[in-house]
Each structure stands twice: as C-alpha cells, then as structure tokens.
Structure 1
Amino acid sequence: MLPHVFLRQLLVLGTMLTAPLLPAYAFSVTEVGDAGETLTTAQVLSGTGPLETISGALSSNNADLFQIFIDGGNFSATTLPNNAFNTQLFLFDALGRGVVANDDSSIQTTGSTLNAIGLSSGIYYLAISGFDYDPTSVNGFIFPNNARGQRTPQTNSPLTGFGQRTTLESDSGFYTLTLSGASGVPVPGPGPALGLLALGGLGGLKQLYRNRARSQQH
C-alpha cells in the first residue's frame, strides 16, 4: 500500500499548487507604445497587487485608455501634484458606460482629480486626455462640458472613441496618475489546474501501488 506519510505529502503539494503563486505587492506601470482610445484597444494593466501609479505621454488630440480592476468601494485618481499640462480624467464601467469625470481639481489648477464612491468590484476603464478632447458615444459626448467638479454622464451609451469639442488642439505632455482603490486586472493562473493535475497524479500513484501489491500477492 501507499505509505500514509507519502500520501499526506502529495495532498499538501496539491493544496499548495492551488494557492496563488506570487505575493500581491503594490506596483506601478508605464504606458506601452500608445494606449488606445476604445475598449478593444485599451492597454490592460494586469497584476496581482494594488496599482499605485500609471505613467505615460499624450500627444495633441489623443487619449490614453487603461483597463484596471477596482476593488470595490472608493476609488480615486489624480494627476496632481506634478501635472505638466491641462488634463482630464474619465472613468467607465466594464461596458464602457460613463461613471465619473473631472477636468480641473480646483480653480487654482488645471490638474485633474477623479473621485468615485460606492463602486462595485470589477473591471473598469480609466482614461486621460488633454483639455476638451472628450469621450464620445453614438449619442454624442458622454459627459457634459464642465470645467470643475465631478462630472456625471449625460448618456448611458457606451464609449466609442474620443473627439475634440472645439477647433483647438488639446494639450499634450507627460503624466503620472496616482491611484487608490485599484488593482491589476486578474490573470487566470495555473494554480487550480496544477492542483488538479497533482491530485490526478496522486490517484494514479495510488492505483499503481495497489496493482503492485496485488501482483506481489500472487
């Protein structure tokens, strides 16, 4: 028969393999290439811990859209205190519907601070753009054109892209977003599958020892 000690060791191995493989450390990301402006072209920020900062660069008449995971409850994102140009921030749910937006944090700055409360846990999209380069839908601009304060959507239609409200070019420059309440987008890991393989291997070893014991009895 299979020794009990060996059996327990294999069971422990199967349990360990079903656990997360990496600890959840806070991390920062930098834009890769040019993050897109639609749900299908957004840069996915994958990871296993809290997402602290996002750094990148914008050209004129351009927006960067990132897929993130919000833990649930309160979420914030800001370009302060080191914003280098007139920014805007926008948050969308997993379907691309507007949640909240901000242009200027206050009358003293053109930096942006976005605050959302009572959010459900899940996938969201966070966008940054220069002033007046705004998210659009099949029903027009998603958010009203308010300079200050937290803006709520004026349509429930999902994001289709971005467009300039005026004939002027939007601002451009480098940015760093500081976030709270966000994490990397979970990536399906091999843990459970490896655990099942280990347990399957355990069953095979048990059968092997049973067959060997029977053969020794004959």
Structure 2
Amino acid sequence: MKKWLFLSVWLFLVMTSRSYAVLFQEIGDAGKTLDTAILVAEGTTQINGYLEFPDAFNNLAGADLFTFWWGGGSFEAVTSGQGDFQLFLFDQYGRGLWSNDDISQLNLNARISDPDLAPGIYYLGISSYDYDPYNIFDEEIFSDGPYDAQLAPQATEDYLAYWDGAAWEGDIYYTISFSSPANVPEPATIVLLGLALGILGFLSQKIKKYKEGENV
C-alpha cells in the first residue's frame, strides 16, 4: 500500500509541476532506503536538511536519501555546511553510480558531477564521513578513498541495501545545491517511470526480506 501511495504522489507531482527554481526543505527526517527516500519536487535547485546521529531506535537516522527525475545532460550536486559530508548517487534501481567525500584536502564538503547524466530517476544520498552504503553481502559499495576523488562502485554487487559505520554525534545541518533544476518527463515517459517504480518497490521488499531472514 505504501509503495503505491508513493507512486501515485510521484506521478501526480511530475505531471502537474512547472519548470521553476525551487528551494526544498526536508520535513521530518528523510529515509535512507529506496522505499523511504523523500521525493524532491520538480525544479528543485537546493535542498536544506539535517543528519541525525544514528542509533538502534531510529532506522531513518545517519543518512538522508532523496529521489528525483533528471532530464539529461550535465549534472552537479555540491554540499555546504559545517560537517564532513559524503554524497552518493544511485540509479533508479539503487545501483551505485558515483560517490565523493571531499571536494579537496582543504574543503570537506562533497561534490558529484557527471557531464552527461542520462535522463531518468535517481537517488542522491548524503551522510557524514564514514557512514557508508552497503550491499546485501555486507560489502561497502564504494571505496573510502582517495577522499578528494569522485569514485565509481568497488563492489561487484552494487545495489543499496543499508548504511553502516561511524558517524558524527549530534544533528548536522546541510545544504545540497544542484547545478540546474530537474525537468518534468514527457507524458510517454511517465508510464515507463510508473513501471520502474513498481519494480523498485518489489526489489526493496526482496532485499528487506533477505536481510530479515539473515538475522533470524
């Protein structure tokens, strides 16, 4: 039920949105799995949010995951704030594409860029240093370094299953700025997006059941 509600809201937003710059404010706490990610409104150029310190009683804390439609072309996302942030980009199925820890040795913010990112649904994750995405085999999807390089996945199985690792204590406020706003997909593409999101929900449930069975 939750999956189809998410799908309905997503399709409504992309079909009724207009192209203009939007400042997106995280309300509550964004999830960190594909089925709990927050949908970013079309036209968003900046996200304001905060990271909560992860603990055993809060499955959402530690990392934030946002989903958005990208119309194709040059893409860049960069963080700003007082923390040592990491950024991670995943495709519509949760496969890792890019990660970055530091812009440079003197700048602990993170940046991901792609000169020709294909049109489609993507997930953008943010976490504090060393709180990382893992696959279902308990392997880190991305290498920890070099810190100032943009990295492709190191794991053969690069689908996001969960997050783990050390994290800064306390809430950390951040801003993510996009190089240009997202676009509304063509009507014919919306049907394909609906099918993709349905498959995405199915895969998320399979991963969840796999992890639950492993912990029994």
Tell me, yes or no, if the aligned pair for 2:100 and 2:148 is still in contact at 8 Å: yes
Matches within 5 A, 1:144-183: 144-146=143-145, 147-155=147-155, 156-164=157-165, 168-170=166-168, 172-183=171-182
| Paired AA for residue 53 in structure 1 | Q
Comparing 145-154 and 90-99, the one that deviates more: 145-154
In structure 2, which of residues 64, 84, 97 is the aligned counterpart of residue 99 of structure 1? 97
Q: Distance in 2 between matches of 1:169 and 1:24?
A: 37
Tell me, yes or no, if the aligned pair for 1:67 and 1:185 is still in contact at 8 Å: no
Q: Distance in 1 between matches of 2:185 and 2:29?
A: 22
Q: Distance in 2 between matches of 1:39 and 1:125?
A: 8
Q: Distance in 2 between matches of 1:45 and 1:184?
A: 11
Q: Distance in 2 between matches of 1:111 and 1:162?
A: 20
| Paired AA for residue 96 in structure 1 | G
In structure 2, which of residues 20, 25, 32 is the aligned counterpart of residue 30 of structure 1? 25
Q: How much has 1:107 moved relative to structure 2?
A: 0.7
Q: Distance in 2 between matches of 1:183 and 1:136?
A: 27
Q: How much has 1:182 moved relative to structure 2?
A: 4.4
Which residues of structure 2 form unaligned runs of 5+? 1-14, 55-61, 188-216
Aligned position for 1:59 = 52
Q: Distance in 2 between matches of 1:184 and 1:55?
A: 20
Aligned position for 2:110 = 112
Tell me, yes or no, if the aligned pair for 2:142 and 2:151 is still in contact at 8 Å: yes
Aligned position for 1:142 = 141
Q: How much has 1:105 moved relative to structure 2?
A: 0.3
| Paired AA for residue 179 in structure 1 | F
In structure 1, which of residues 126, 129, 148 is the aligned counterpart of residue 127 of structure 2? 129
Q: Distance in 2 between matches of 1:76 and 1:22?
A: 22
Question: Which structure has more RCO (C-alpha within 8 Å, separation ≥ 6)?
Answer: 1
| Number of residue pairs aligned between Structure 1 and Structure 2 | 162
Q: Distance in 2 between matches of 1:153 and 1:127?
A: 14
Instruction: Report the secondary structure of 1:163's partner residue.
Output: strand
Q: How much has 1:184 moved relative to structure 2?
A: 6.4
TM-score (norm 1): 0.68
Matches within 5 A, 1:181-192: 181-183=180-182
Aligned position for 2:38 = 43
Query: Which is higher, the Rg of structure 1 or of structure 2?
Result: 1
Instruction: Report the secondary structure of 1:169's partner residue.
Output: coil
Which residues of structure 1 form unaligned runs of 5+? 1-19, 189-218
Q: Distance in 1 between matches of 2:16 and 2:160?
A: 35
CA deviation profile, 1:12-65 (whole Å, cap 9, x unmatched): xxxxxxxx7664211110112110010000001133xx3200000112230000
Q: Distance in 1 between matches of 2:77 and 2:16?
A: 29
- Do the aligned partners of residues 41 and 106 (structure 1) sit closer, same or farther apart at CA in structure 2, a change above 3 Å counting? same
Q: Distance in 2 between matches of 1:125 and 1:143?
A: 15
- Do the aligned partners of residues 22 and 52 (structure 1) sit closer, same or farther apart at CA in structure 2, a change above 3 Å counting? closer
